[in-house]
Amino acid sequence: MFLVAGQHSDYACARALLDALQPARHRLADRGYGSDCYREVLEETGIKPRIPSRKGCKIAILHDEARYQEFHEVENSFARLKDWRRVATR
């Protein structure tokens, strides 16, 4: 667990936690982790980033749309579970 203030970006914390993750060839993440410095850290460790570019980027970075869609469906499933938890606790 890595606890930081709320105004810090997620990718700054993710860089610190990379050593604790299991080895992988690819890393899927949402647009919030699309910074250039995080991509460089992933590539230095031998992991190919499969992260779409942020909306404000001038140069679009290619990513695997099919894998990202599957990843996004899983993320949405967790969001729905959290919504139902709110209903159940009321």
| Residue 26 counted as domain residue | yes
Q: What is the pTM of this model?
A: 0.64
| Residue 17 counted as domain residue | yes
| Residue 59 counted as domain residue | yes
| Residue 1 counted as domain residue | no
Structural domain including 25 reads 10-89
d(CA 63, CA 35): 14
Per-residue pLDDT 10s for the chain (90 aa) are 667 776 666 666 777 777 777 788 888 887 777 778 888 888 888 888 888 887 777 777 877 788 888 888 888 888 888 888 766 666
Domain count, the chain: 1
| Residue 40 counted as domain residue | yes
What pLDDT is recorded for position 2?
65
Count Cβ atoms within 10 A of the Cβ of residue 88 and give its class: 0-12 exposed, 13-18 middle, 19 or more buried.
exposed
